[in-house]
Amino acid sequence: MTGDGPIENGVVALEDTRIVGVGPLAEFQDEFANAPVEHFTDGTLLPGLIDAHAHLTLPANRQSYERMAQDSDELMALVSIRNLQRHLASGVTTIRDNGCRNRVTFAVREALRRGYFSGPRLLLAGRPLTHRLGHFWWCNGEADGEAEIRAAVRQLVAEGADHIKIMASGGGTAGTSPYHSSYTSDELRVAVETAHGLDRLTTAHCRARQSMHFAVDAGLDCIEHAEFLVPSGHDRAAKGGMEYDARLTERILRAGTFVSFTFQAGGYAYLLELRQAPGTRGSERDELEAYFDAKRALFGHLLRDGMLPRLVISTDAGPGDTEFGHLEHGLQLALESGMSCGQALAAVTRIAAEACGVANMVGTLEPHKEADLLVVGGNPLKNIDAITKVQAVYIAGERVAVQPVSN
């Protein structure tokens, strides 16, 4: 997934944890004649997939945030282990976690480091920054005003955060509005400047269109969701809707900001169920179909207006019905919206690695990079469904035992 064409009858040579060579078999027959070889007939070898937006501690059990927040930190840690293993089994070898309660994911990463269980590489935000009673407030990352925001960023970095996640708009948390901004551009700028001063990237939850503008003003490195939501005037009972703005996309491109589009979030798994039972819950199905039609339209606009090089497909796994182990749902939606198979795969490998700041380590099959690999049956460049036919997964050159992901 470097942008070059596929290599037929190819070889990826490994030494310890890293890739040392990539090319046709004929180029390696002499140099590695006596090396152990694993053959995958009729398989395709890819970089391990990257999910740039997930919430490891949440169980995707279709309950409200308020109900999920009743779980203890200990239970959330156990949920994380299950979620990690489901994603790993589907070929995801790097996960950017965008918000947990307290220090749960830091403890999970330490358990991974000690070898207590296998799982993907973890890029952790820890507690997301939010205002008092803002989206995800129960994670205990509340920070109001510039002084509190600056102090919160510094503490998170000291605790081990790889990046800083900021709730720039409301979301599904009770009492918040996804149609309105949560922080001003000045407040966001303080978080960005503090994080960058400590060599950390930033990303922001931006469902509201205004929050996307503020994120660009502040210099955020990545925008999550990007739903272009606008309120419906003064009628608080109305929900508002998505209204694409090409000028905003132009601003995002000029700023060099990535967009992490959580395509399948918001009920896609439930919609797939409803499609299997025609005639039942018709109004719910119609509402979900309309919602995902609107997301497809947004995605299509982003593609046509030049966002492809900085457009990431991610899951938002954990909340609602967005289960771990099914990144393929987002890929399928992307194809329905105008992407090619190759472009969709790049959005969950090379481009995702760039957005997460780890392109020097993973995301492509190149010498000197970590040997995080996925082998699937068939050719996903021709049929994206091949991505679900996992034959083998490697982390740092070591093949890991994985259990198939159930549907």
Closest CA to 223 of 241, 233, 210, 239: 210
C-alpha gyration radius of the chain: 21
pLDDT per position as a tens digit, 193-207: 999 999 999 999 999
**pLDDT category, 5, cuts 50, 70, 90?**
confident
Structure-block tokens of residue 402:
């994985």
Q: What is the structure's pLDDT at 125?
A: 98
Q: What are phi and psi of 100, to 5 degrees?
A: -135, 175
Three-state secondary structure string covering 251-320: HHHHHCCEEEEECCCCCHHHHHHHHCCCCCCHHHHHHHHHHHHHHHHHHHHHHHCCCHHHEEEECCECCC
Identify the weakest region by mean pLDDT among 21-30, 259-268, 348-357, 394-403.
21-30
**pLDDT category, 234, cuts 50, 70, 90?**
low
Q: What is the structure's pLDDT at 201?
A: 98
Is residue 407 predicted with pLDDT exceeding 60?
no
**pLDDT category, 402, cuts 50, 70, 90?**
confident
Q: Please tell me the distance from the alpha carbon of residue 332 to that of residue 151, in angstroms, as a whole number.
A: 41
In a domain, 219, yes or no: yes
End-to-end CA distance of the chain: 27
- Give the H or E element holding residue 156: helix 145-159
In a domain, 371, yes or no: no
In a domain, 19, yes or no: no
Q: What is the CATH number of the domain that holds 243?
A: 3.20.20.140
Is residue 29 predicted with pLDDT exceeding 60?
yes
Is residue 158 predicted with pLDDT exceeding 80?
yes
Q: Is the dihedral of CA 406, 296, 224, 350 positive or negative?
A: positive
In a domain, 343, yes or no: yes
pLDDT per position as a tens digit, 51-97: 999 999 999 999 999 999 999 999 999 999 999 999 999 999 999 99
Give the largest CA-CA distance in the chain.
73
Q: What is the structure's pLDDT at 39?
A: 86
In a domain, 71, yes or no: yes
Q: What are phi and psi of 96, to 5 degrees?
A: -100, 110
**pLDDT category, 238, cuts 50, 70, 90?**
low
Is residue 34 predicted with pLDDT exceeding 90?
no
Give SS3 for 346. Answer: helix
Contact 219, 234 (CB under 8 A): no
| pLDDT above 90 as % of the chain | 86
Q: Please tell me the distance from the alpha carbon of residue 221 to that of residue 362, in angstroms, as a whole number.
A: 19
Q: What is the structure's pLDDT at 240?
A: 87
Is residue 1 predicted with pLDDT exceeding 90?
no
Residue 26 identity (one-letter amino acid): A
Q: What is the structure's pLDDT at 397?
A: 95
- Burial (CB < 10 A; 0-12, 13-18, 19+), residue 211, is buried
Contact 337, 298 (CB under 8 A): no
Q: Which stretches within 18-130 are classed as H helix?
A: 65-68, 73-89, 104-113
Q: Please tell me the distance from the alpha carbon of residue 44 to that of residue 8, in angstroms, as a whole number.
A: 9
**pLDDT category, 32, cuts 50, 70, 90?**
low
Contact 49, 327 (CB under 8 A): yes
Q: Please tell me the distance from the alpha carbon of residue 344 to that of residue 312, in angstroms, as a whole number.
A: 9
Q: Please tell me the distance from the alpha carbon of residue 114 to that of residue 39, in angstroms, as a whole number.
A: 30
Q: Please tell me the distance from the alpha carbon of residue 304 to that of residue 112, in angstroms, as a whole number.
A: 41
Is residue 233 predicted with pLDDT exceeding 80?
no
HSE (side-chain half, CA atoms, 13 Å) at 359 = 13
Closest CA to 286 of 298, 274, 276: 274
Buried b (16+ CB within 10 A) or exposed e, 340-361: ebbbbbbbbbbbbbbbbbbeeb
Identify the weakest region by mean pLDDT among 7-11, 256-260, 272-276, 287-291.
7-11
Higher-confidence residue: 29 or 396? 396
Q: What is the structure's pLDDT at 225?
A: 98
In a domain, 398, yes or no: no
- Burial (CB < 10 A; 0-12, 13-18, 19+), residue 373, is buried
Q: What is the structure's pLDDT at 36?
A: 83
Q: What is the structure's pLDDT at 41?
A: 85
Q: What is the structure's pLDDT at 53?
A: 98
In a domain, 364, yes or no: no
* Confidence (pTM): 0.96
Q: What is the structure's pLDDT at 3?
A: 61
Is residue 232 predicted with pLDDT exceeding 90?
no
Q: Is the dihedral of CA 69, 75, 81, 86 positive or negative?
A: negative
In a domain, 334, yes or no: yes
**pLDDT category, 26, cuts 50, 70, 90?**
confident
Domain with 133 in it: 46-356
Closest CA to 244 of 311, 288, 302: 302
- If one counts the domains in the chain, the total is 1
Q: Please tell me the distance from the alpha carbon of residue 388 to that of residue 158, in angstroms, as a whole number.
A: 38
pLDDT per position as a tens digit, 265-299: 999 999 999 999 877 778 899 999 999 999 999 99
